[in-house]
Amino acid sequence: MNAQPWISVVGIGEDGPAGLGEEARRRIAEAEVLAGGRRHLALVPPSEATRVPWGSPLEDSVRGLAAYRGRKVVVLASGDPSWFGVAKVVLRHFPREEVAVLPHVSAFQLAAARLGWAIEEVGTVSLHNMPATRLLRELAPGRRLLVLTSGPRMPATIADLLARHGHAAARVRVFGHLGGPRETMWEGETAEVAGQRFPILNLVALALPRETEATEDAAVLDLDDDAFEHDGNITKAEYRAAAIARLGPGPGRRLWDVGAGSGAMAITWLYRCGTGAATAIEKRPDRAVFIRRNAARLGTPELRLVEGEAPEALPAEEVPDAVFVGGGLATPGLLRACFERLAPGGRLVAHAVTMGGEQALYRMYEEVGGTLQRLSLSRAELRGDHLLWRPLAPVTQYAVTRR
Ligand SMILES: C[S@@+](CC[C@H](N)C(=O)[O-])C[C@H]1O[C@@H](n2cnc3c(N)ncnc32)[C@H](O)[C@@H]1O
């Protein structure tokens, strides 16, 4: 094995080699193999190097670089290859010590510079290979976002999404070819975006108003129960919040939502994590339909659905950081199996509303410890002219950490 990295992932801007540092230029000049998108390869003047344009799927092309092991391979990428870029894909296939990454200024940085925005106060999102609804979890009053898009029609799709979710008054800027001689910037209201033509390569900057309008769909943003399609079997929003808080969401963390019903837990988890992973396990096909539809509508394409009965259906190849059990508590071995599959330090939370379920929780508590608590909730509701408390079924919550 080479001690020196033989793959250099070099970030390049719209201005081509002229904008690169000395080291990046040297690596490109000495490269025996140049790999990248056709647009990137075209930025570099002709040379003796073998040119390897990416095909589809990208993963296969990257894996194919193994054929050049030991030669000087340069992978060209946009801006900073470690920021929603190809570096992650390369490092999935080659060991860390075989790869060097040379970042360039990213489009996010260029847009922030043009706008005078401090990047640490701004959300950065990529919609490459993602539906526009992926943005929903990022929307909040007063938030500013920089969004990498794919395609000239994406700005209009984004503007439409904002308008339907209470942010019609957002200020939209669309940058084209940032950092190059043909750089463009359009600025306007969400209602004006649809009539514009934008370059294929664009970045959308959004400044959301502090006050949102109450639209029919605005509830989606809070992920209250109405945000989901369900048949009544849903962990109510307040109970869901109590479970999520104990499960400990965070970037990159994986949840199993066992007995997922509508998928509300798994989807809320993905919203809270920003970038996380979730697998919904549900035995009833009619509820699996809800899960699929809710995930599509609420922009969580990364949600994995396993249709089947736990514990048999628990995915063998995954190690969850958190498990929520909302159904099937009385199934023999289910709770134990979920607990044992947790990563060290991982947390299990289970909710029971029936006596049978509660007994299963109590047995687990006796065997492995943890905490038990009873949650009860009443909601004020109008009956005629009177406001009355309507109690919801109390929930017994069991929580335990895997040591
Ligand atoms: C109360 S609902 C869960 C609600 C869900 N947390 C939500 O917010 O939509 C319980 C679900 O568990 C499912 N279920 C019960 N036993 C199961 C098992 N062994 N494996 C998978 N799903 C199961 C049921 O079909 C039902 O949809």
Give the range among 51-60, 181-190, 221-230, 263-272 with minimum mean pLDDT: 221-230
Asked if residue 4 has pLDDT above 90, the reply is no
| Every domain of the chain and the residues it spans | 7-105, 108-207, 223-401
Joined tokens for residue 342? 């947790």
Q: Which amino acid makes up residue 303?
A: L
Residue 317 CA to residue 258 CA, distance in Å, equals: 16
Pick from 48, 17, 16, 11: which is nearest to 32 by CA? 48
Contact in structure between 102 and 27 (CB atoms under 8 Å): yes
**How far apart are the CA of 217 and the centre of ligand 1, in A?**
26
Atom 23, ligand 1: which residue's CA is nearest?
A: 259
Pick from 129, 147, 128, 149: which is nearest to 138 by CA? 147
CA dist 364 → 243, 245, 330, 335, 337 (Å): 17, 21, 11, 8, 11
Mean pLDDT of the chain: 94
**How far apart are the CA of 222 and the centre of ligand 1, in A?**
23
CATH of domain 7-105: 3.40.1010.10
Do 7-105 and 108-207 come out as alike in CATH topology?
A: no
Atom 7, ligand 1: which residue's CA is nearest?
A: 234
- The SS3 call for residue 379 is strand
Q: For the beta carbon of residue 92, count every other beta carbon within 10 angstroms.
A: 10
Return the pLDDT at 218. 44
Atom 16, ligand 1: which residue's CA is nearest?
A: 328
Q: Which amino acid makes up residue 361?
A: L
End-to-end CA distance of the chain: 38
Per-residue pLDDT reduced to its tens digit, 105-125: 999 999 999 999 999 999 999
Return the pLDDT at 219. 44
Asked if residue 220 has pLDDT above 50, the reply is no
Atom 27, ligand 1: which residue's CA is nearest?
A: 261
Whether 282 is in the pocket of ligand 1, judged by its Cβ within 6 Å, is yes
Element (H, E) at 288: helix 285-297
Residue 51 CA to residue 40 CA, distance in Å, equals: 11
Whether 262 is in the pocket of ligand 1, judged by its Cβ within 6 Å, is yes
Return the pLDDT at 149. 94
Whether 287 is in the pocket of ligand 1, judged by its Cβ within 6 Å, is yes
**How far apart are the CA of 62 and the centre of ligand 1, in A?**
40
Return the pLDDT at 222. 59
Whether 283 is in the pocket of ligand 1, judged by its Cβ within 6 Å, is yes
Residue 189 CA to residue 192 CA, distance in Å, equals: 5
Domain 223-401 homologous superfamily, CATH:
Vaccinia Virus protein VP39 (3.40.50.150)
Whether 40 is in the pocket of ligand 1, judged by its Cβ within 6 Å, is no
Whether 265 is in the pocket of ligand 1, judged by its Cβ within 6 Å, is yes
Strand stretches in 60-157, DSSP E: 73-78, 99-102, 123-126, 144-148
Return the pLDDT at 223. 77
Per-residue pLDDT reduced to its tens digit, 279-318: 999 999 999 999 999 999 999 999 999 999 999 999 999 9
Residue 63 CA to residue 89 CA, distance in Å, equals: 9
Element (H, E) at 204: strand 202-207
- The SS3 call for residue 358 is helix
Return the best residue to mutate from 233, 238, 300 for the ligand 1 pocket (most ligand atoms within 8 A of CB).
Answer: 233
Return the pLDDT at 3. 56
- Quick one: fold of 108-207? 3.30.950
Pick 31 or 200 by higher pLDDT: 31
Whether 27 is in the pocket of ligand 1, judged by its Cβ within 6 Å, is no
Per-residue pLDDT reduced to its tens digit, 123-153: 999 999 899 999 999 998 899 999 999 889 9
Q: What angle do CA 48, 52, 58 make, to 5 degrees?
A: 160
Return the pLDDT at 141. 87
CA dist 275 → 42, 93, 268, 278, 330 (Å): 33, 21, 12, 10, 32
Percent of the chain with pLDDT over 70: 97
Tokens 């030991």 -> residue: 70
Whether 310 is in the pocket of ligand 1, judged by its Cβ within 6 Å, is yes
Contact in structure between 389 and 400 (CB atoms under 8 Å): no
**How far apart are the CA of 403 and the centre of ligand 1, in A?**
27
